[in-house]
A and B are shown apart, each in its own frame.
Chain A
Amino acid sequence: MSYFRKKIYACAGFNTIALGTGRKEFRPKKPRPGIEHYIKEAGLGSINQIKNPENIDEGVIGNFMAARFCRQGNLGGFFPMVHPTFQYKPCIRVEGACDSGGLALVTAIKTILADLADVVLCIGFEIQNSVKAIYGADYLAGAGWYSGDRKEGHAYFFPDQFSQRAGACFEKFGKEKVRAGMAQWYVNAIENARKNPKAQEYHNKNSDLMTTGLTPPNPKVFCEHINVFDCSKVSDAASALIFASEEGLKKIEVDKNDAVEVLAYAQVQDNLTTPPPDFTKLSTCQIAAKRAYKRAGLTPNDLSVLDVHDCFTIAGVLAVEAAGFADYGEGADFIKEGNTKSDGKIPTNTTGGLIGYGHPTGASGVRQAVDVVHQLSEKAGDCQVKIHPDKPYGMMSSMGGNDKTVVAMIFKKIE
């Protein structure tokens, strides 16, 4: 028996270019596209792939910190600007730090499951290049517990949280091995991004990625156990994806072969005011993945493609363990051996991930879903990986805060 009371489909995915350092067209001191541009480009990018947009019932937008990066709230109000179909229809913004996009996905699905809508446009969006990184670090630290942890925290609050995780893993599993896995993660991310014209690292020409990935950390200006290449990018971007019921697909005239079925998801919340129980694992991500597999009736072996939240290389390493592909402490070796490359055992973050494509925080969850949908519907362009006929499944897992807010979602190719 399926987990949902009715079938849910995802289609018409769209990602904008992730703009920021690395992109040739990025000019930090020149004016850049604003909120309106990104939301509209992504929203219309999806809408233009369907018919009868008047049949869209609702809009959901995931965003983390536009209130600070852009001094803008009330983001639901931008939907009628994207397209007149939204005028006087329900539109909502959801927030869960870097998992805002993931929460937008589940919010859209829940509305359809509640029989309140047949077609929902889901957008994820963030602009982060509006301030220098040192101030952006303040804004992003809002994903942690402000009154409890910020004062004692590092200037680069989140990089340091994951630097501590890297340090804990070095100590427990051996520095050289974990470091090698992290560097390999970086290499894979850039190699995949070079195949994705929308990726922030698309223009990366570095001929010695491994050496770059192994750059020694500089704690005086950054973190103790990670270097800047271990970090996801500071990005401006938006993504959009349409969710629909069976009825909804008909209304917008999308062929089932152009859509992907959502089999199950798990949305899991941990207490923001308590420290992670174990710095050497992503406990919440693991619970989310296990629940999602259970609800879908699948195991990790059934997946042809995986997209995890690699806000830092160490998060990528731990996420692969949390998703059930490597045993505890074995993620680094699993990656080092090439298993997560696009032609490996489980192609992971095939379009670059947060390190290669970029990490427009509120958009990332939606972007991950779009890329899994593209893979399963064989629309991933140069990034396309083999979808095995006996493994027509893909999973995305997005995370907010330090393993606090997680959505894992499993998709199935329609045969």
Chain B
Amino acid sequence: MTLDERLENVAVIGAAGKMGSGIAVLISQEMAIQKLKPENKDKIYRLNLIDVSERALDGLRSYLRAQILKRAEKSTVLLREIYKERKDLIENGEIINEFVNDTYELLNFSTDIELVKDASLVFEAIFENEEIKIKVLKQLKELCKKDTLFLSNTSSIPISYLDEKAGLDGRIIGYHFYNPPVIQRLVEVIAAKATTEELKNIASELGKRLRKKLVSSNDISGFIGNGHFSRDGLYALNEVERLKEKYGYHGAIYIMNKVSQEYLIRPMGIFQLIDYVGVDIFECLLRVMRTHLGDECLISELIDKMVNNKILGGQYPSGAQKDGFLKYEKNRPAGVYNVVKGKYYMFDEDWKAGIDKEINPTNEKFVPWRALLMDAKKVDKLKTHFDNLKNMNTFGSELALDFLKETKAIADNLLVDGVADSADDINAVLMNGFFWIYGPINNYI
């Protein structure tokens, strides 16, 4: 079966989740474009969106309607071409509206997993829990046709393991979108040992259709993205344990977050990123990797305590950030958690000024990530920035340079361990999936 044939009937399992809903937006638009081709006018297209609760599906409906509209507005040049024979549709507004309706008509929302029975492509995007994933994949195998292909959005569980446990005989591939899938260009592709050539080709062609940047990762738990992120986060967590003696947990977290964002010029600080991903997801990530890699170092007492205290981060259905290591007001950090005291310390200007003075006594100003993002001369400017850091000899610059070295060491190890085939792949994942403006393997150190 070709990709076009497979796109006639697709299912997303876990469709109401953060990743599933994004995948649903991308696939629905591609399916609608297929459906509207003159040669396909007699075919029936269905995207089956399956999740466990009706309430979650309601949220999914609103999200999809808004996202499909938004993407249609951005694709109007193409849509005018698609509808050129429709004499009744003249203005952009009419064409956009028609496309939203045409897309919406191919969607099936349900809590009934049996709807997958006719699907030729199934995206699995359920919670990152391997027992549940295996159970669901087994169930899908029973319900689906013999040639249905499965794309798993797991971010850490080895695909060969899922393949063997669910008995899919190579009809599964790792297809790891980044959050949020409608915006992030990166998809990590992970072939299991037995993944069929057909599925590899389908996955690659689909990536082109969705205009995603595909990076292959080898099938080792965590893959490239989380293989790096988990250890990067763990380094920061361990630094917090070291710094907490002097600054308390809340001070140490504030420092490491600030250093990683401002000194390393990243889009957000490391603890804001862990909050964004979800503290519980991060814990789960470490656990999965610890199990599959047998590496007992992949553990953090602090993370476990946070999860115990139910300080989990993540997002509200509206997209607003929930409190985690940091407390948020209007999606901006406004306080920081102290796990021993079990409470947030709101940022107080005097307190911040006191700590800032310790890490940055010379009151150096750094160019923000956003300013460099589109800067044609960012490579040179980054070089100047890191050269400055080296001459600064402040507490903050030392923390930053150590972090920069560690980040590179983590990436180097991904090469040594055979997770990634090249430094370029690692840099591509961090730059496209995490919006860094430079890769971890660089000449800035």
Interface residues of A (CB under 8 A from B): 132, 134-135, 137-138, 141, 146, 150-151, 154-156, 208, 211, 219-222
> Which chain A residue lies CB-closest to B77?
A155
Chain B residues near A137 (CB-CB < 8 A)? 92
Contact call B73/A134, Cβ cutoff below 8 A: yes
A221 and B78 CA atoms in complex are apart in Å by 8
Residues from chain B with Cβ under 8 Å of A146 in the complex: 90
Tell me which residues across on chain B come within 8 A of A151, comparing CB atoms: 87, 90
Chain A contacts of B73 at CB under 8 A? Answer: 132, 134
Docked-complex contact B91 and A138, CB < 8 angstroms: yes
Q: Of A135, A154, A222, which contacts B93 at CB under 8 A? A: A135
Q: Give the distance in Å from the alpha carbon of A88 to the alpha carbon of B93 in the complex.
A: 40
The verdict on B74 contacting chain A, using a C-beta distance below 8 Å, is yes
> Which chain B residue has the least Cβ–Cβ distance from A157?
B92
The total of interchain contacts (Cβ-Cβ below 8 angstroms) comes to 34
Closest-CB distance, B44 to chain A (whole angstroms): 29
What is the chain B residue whose CB lies nearest that of A132? B73
Known: A134-B92, A135-B92, A135-B93. A155 touches B76 (CB 8 A): yes
Q: How far is the CA of A219 from the CA of B92 in the complex (A)?
A: 17
Q: Are A138 and B92 in contact (CB under 8 A)?
A: yes
Partner of A211, one of B74, B77, B78, B376: B376
Contact B96 A150 (CB under 8 A): no
Is the C-beta of B290 less than 8 angstroms from some C-beta in chain A? Answer: no
Q: Residue B200 at the A interface, CB < 8 A? A: no
A150 and B76 contact, CB distance less than 8 A: no
Residues of the A chain whose Cβ atoms lie less than 8 Å from the Cβ of B390: none
Bound Cα distance from A138 to B89, whole angstroms: 12
| CB atoms of B80 and A150 under 8 A apart | no
Q: Which of B74, B79, B87, B93 is A138 in contact with, Cβ under 8 Å?
A: B93
Q: Is the CB of B74 within 8 A of A221?
A: yes
Whose C-beta in chain A lies nearest to the C-beta of B81? Answer: A155
13 contacts between A and B (CB under 8 A): A138-B92, A150-B91, A151-B90, A155-B76, A155-B79, A155-B92, A208-B376, A211-B376, A219-B77, A220-B77, A221-B74, A221-B77, A222-B77
B376–A154 CB distance below 8 A: no
CA distance A221 to B79 in the complex (A): 11
Task: Kindly identify which residue among B80, B87, B376 contacts A155, using a CB–CB cutoff of 8 Å.
Answer: B80
Output the least CB separation between B374 and chain A (Å).
11
- The distance in angstroms between the C-alpha atoms of A151 and B87, with both chains bound, is 7
Q: Mark contacts of B69-105 with chain A using CB atoms, 8 A cut-off: 1 yes-contact digit, 0 otherwise.
A: 0000110111110000001001111001000000000
Q: Whole-angstrom distance between the alpha carbons of A208 and B377 in the complex?
A: 11
Are A150 and B90 in contact, with the CB atoms below 8 A?
A: yes
Task: For B96, give its contact among A134, A141, A211 (CB under 8 Å).
Answer: A134
The B43-59 residues at the A interface (CB cut-off 8 A) are none
Nearest CB in chain B to that of A133: its residue: B73
Contact A134 B76 (CB under 8 A): yes
* Neighbouring A residues of B376 by C-beta, 8 Å: 208, 211
B contact set with A: CB distance below 8 Å: 73-74, 76-80, 87, 90-93, 96, 376
Give the interface SS of chain B, mostly helix, strand, loop or mixed.
helix
Q: Complex Cα distance A134/B71, Å?
A: 12
> With A and B bound together, what is the CA distance between A146 and B87 in angstroms?
13
Hey, which chain A residues are within 8 Å of B91, CB to CB? 138, 141, 150
Q: What residues on B are CB-neighbors of A219 within 8 Å?
A: 77
Q: How far is the CB of A145 from chain B (nearest CB, A)?
A: 12
Residues of A within 8 A of B92 (CB): 134-135, 137-138, 155
A141–B92 CA distance with the chains assembled, in angstroms: 10
Q: Which of A134, A154, A156, A219 has the most CB of B within 10 A?
A: A134
**Closest chain B CB from A397 CB (angstroms):** 30
Q: Which 8 A-B pairs have the closest CB atoms?
A: A155-B76, A138-B91, A155-B77, A138-B92, A151-B90, A134-B73, A134-B92, A155-B80
A141 vs B91: C-alpha distance when bound (angstroms): 9
With A134-B96, A211-B376 as known contacts, state yes or no: A154 contacts B77, CB within 8 Å. Answer: yes
- Can you name the residue of chain B whose Cβ is closest to the Cβ of A219? B77
A71 to chain B, nearest CB (A): 14
Chain A residues closer than 8 Å to B87, beta-carbon distance: 151
Smallest Cβ distance from A90 to chain B, in angstroms? Answer: 35
Q: Would you give the shortest CB distance from B416 to chain A, in whole angstroms?
A: 40
Write out the residue numbers on chain B whose beta carbons fall within 8 Å of the beta carbon of A132: 73
B375 to chain A minimum Cβ distance, whole angstroms, is: 10
- Nearest-CB residue, chain A, relative to B86: A151
Distance between B294 CB and nearest chain A CB, rounded to angstroms: 48
B193 to chain A, nearest CB (A): 38
When distances are taken between beta carbons in the complex, the residues of chain B under 8 Å from A138 are: 91-93
Q: How far is the CA of A403 from the CA of B78 in the complex (A)?
A: 28
- B96: which A residues are within 8 A, CB to CB? 134
Contacts of B79 in A (CB 8 A): 155
A119 CB to nearest chain B CB (Å) = 41
CB distance from B222 to the nearest CB of A (A): 35
The smallest beta-carbon distance between A140 and chain B, in angstroms, is 11
User: Nearest residue in B to A138 (C-beta to C-beta)?
Assistant: B91
Closest Cβ–Cβ distance, residue B29 to chain A (whole Å): 15
A137 to B95, CA, bound (A): 13
A141 proximity list for chain B (CB < 8 A): 91
- In the assembled complex, the Cα of A137 lies from the Cα of B73 at a distance in Å of 12
- The residue among B77, B90, B376 with the most chain A CB atoms within 10 A of its own CB is B77
Distance between Cα atoms of A134 and B248 in the complex (Å): 52
The CA-CA distance from A150 to B84 in the complex, in Å, is 11
Q: Which residues of A contact B74 (CB under 8 A)?
A: 134, 221
Q: How far is the CB of A65 from chain B (nearest CB, A)?
A: 13
Contacts of A155 in B (CB 8 A): 76-77, 79-80, 92
- Interfacial chain A residues near B76, Cβ < 8 Å: 134, 155
The distance from the CB of A317 to the nearest CB of chain B, in whole angstroms, is 25
Bound-complex Cα distance A150 to B90 (A): 7
- Nearest Cβ distance between residue A222 and chain B, in whole angstroms? 7
Seed contacts A134-B73, A155-B80; 17 additional CB < 8 Å A-B pairs: A134-B74, A135-B93, A138-B92, A141-B91, A150-B90, A150-B91, A151-B87, A154-B77, A155-B76, A155-B77, A155-B79, A156-B77, A208-B376, A211-B376, A220-B78, A221-B74, A221-B77
A218 to chain B, nearest CB (A): 10
What's the nearest-Cβ distance from chain B to residue A131, in Å? 9
Complex: A211 Cα to B90 Cα, angstroms: 36
A151 to B93, CA, bound (A): 12
In the assembled complex, the Cα of A208 lies from the Cα of B79 at a distance in Å of 35
Question: Shortest distance in angstroms between B185's beta carbon and chain A's nearest beta carbon?
Answer: 15
CA distance A128 to B335 in the complex (A): 40
Inter-chain CA distance A284–B79, complex, in Å, is: 34
Nearest-CB residue, chain B, relative to A155: B76
Q: How far is the CA of A204 from the CA of B26 in the complex (A)?
A: 35
Central interface residue in A135, A141, A151, by most chain B CB within 10 Å: A151
Contacts of A156 in B (CB 8 A): 77
Expressed in whole angstroms, the minimum distance between the Cβ of B182 and any Cβ of chain A is: 16
Q: CB distance A154 to B90 under 8 Å?
A: no
Complex CA distance for A151 and B91, rounded to whole angstroms: 7
B49 nearest CB across to chain A (Å): 27
In the assembled complex, the Cα of A53 lies from the Cα of B225 at a distance in Å of: 70
Distance to closest chain B CB from A232 (angstroms): 19
How far apart sit A154 and B376, CA to CA, in the bound complex (Å)? 31
Q: What's the nearest-Cβ distance from chain A to residue B288, in Å?
A: 39
Distance between Cα atoms of A221 and B211 in the complex (Å): 14
CB distance from B319 to the nearest CB of A (A): 14
Report the minimal beta-carbon distance from A133 to chain B, rounded to whole angstroms: 9
Closest chain B residue, CB of each to CB of A135: B93
CB nearest to A150 among chain B residues: B90
B161 to chain A, nearest CB (A): 40
A148 CB, min distance to chain B CBs, angstroms: 11
Assembled-state Cα–Cα distance A353/B103 (Å): 42
Once bound together, how far apart are the Cα atoms of A203 and B288, in whole Å? Answer: 51
